[in-house]
Copies of this chain bind each other. A is one copy, B any other.
Amino acid sequence: MPRSREENERIRQSAMANIGSAAMEVFLERGYHAASIEDIAKRAGVAKGLIYNYYRGKEGLLAEIVRARTDEIAGVIEEAAASPEPSEQLRRIVEGALGHIDRNPKAYRFFLHLQTQPEEDKILSKYSEMLNKEMSRQFETQCDIFRRMGAEEPVLRSLYFSSTLHGVMLMKSVYPGYPVEEIQALIIREFCPDRPR
């Protein structure tokens, strides 16, 4: 007796998710170029061939992962924007960004690895581009926040803020024992003035 359509659909969904998360794991562990389809198939417990049934190939897998990441970045902004207070918004950005990286340092490392890909790499630079674009959006919002806080040079200040924040994320993702908590406090003290004054 043939499987029902619903049953098939469920199987497809589950297989696809399974392969997707296996790919995520292997990419984080090995990096994009060094990761092989073979590895991913092994990790997912399926045959190589099956992967091509669900994804366009290695690049298709990456595309999926990058999309998930941009969603995540957008989520942090959205979270921050929910507050009416600019100083509080900034604090949420800091906490959102550092909290996420603290939970999963390998992920940020991977994306950083991706973003530092040489531009000449036509395949990968496309995805690096996507990440940059999302970060640009975040940056715009940030500039607004600084404007509303009455900064003299909001854009420059926002840039300085971003630099610091990304520097911290970078260090955290590269050096295991990095004390995020303390540093986070420093950033907040530096950039987020207390409301009551």
A178 at the interface (CB under 8 A from B): yes
A interface residues, how many (CB within 8 angstroms): 38
Contact yes or no, A31 B118, CB < 8 A: yes
Q: For chain A, what secondary structure do more than half of its interface residues adopt (helix, strand, loop), or is it mixed?
A: helix
Q: Which of B33, B112, B121, B156 contacts A183 (CB 8 A)?
A: B156
Cβ–Cβ < 8 Å partners of A109 in chain B: 116, 118
Using A163-B170, A170-B167 as known contacts, say yes or no to A118 and B110 having CB atoms under 8 A apart: yes
Complex interface: chain B residues within 8 A of A156 (CB): 179, 182-183, 186
Known: A170-B167, A174-B115, A174-B132. A121 touches B160 (CB 8 A): no
CB distance from A23 to the nearest CB of B (A): 14
Looking across the interface, which residue of chain B has its beta carbon closest to that of A161? B167
CB distance from A123 to the nearest CB of B (A): 9
The reply to whether A30 and B116 form a contact with Cβ atoms under 8 Å apart is no
**Those of A121-142 within 8 Å (CB) of chain B:** 121, 132
**How far is A79 from B34 in the complex, measured between Cα atoms in Å?**
38
* A179 and B178 alpha carbons, distance in the complex (Å): 28
The chain B residue with its CB closest to the CB of A167 is: B167
A42 interface contact, C-beta 8 A: no
Please give me the 7 A-B residue pairs with the lowest Cβ-Cβ distance, nearest first. A167-B167, A33-B33, A163-B167, A113-B116, A163-B168, A112-B116, A166-B167
Interface residues of A (CB under 8 A from B): 28-31, 33-34, 106, 109-110, 112-113, 115-118, 120-121, 132, 156, 159-160, 162-168, 170-171, 173-175, 178-179, 182-183, 186
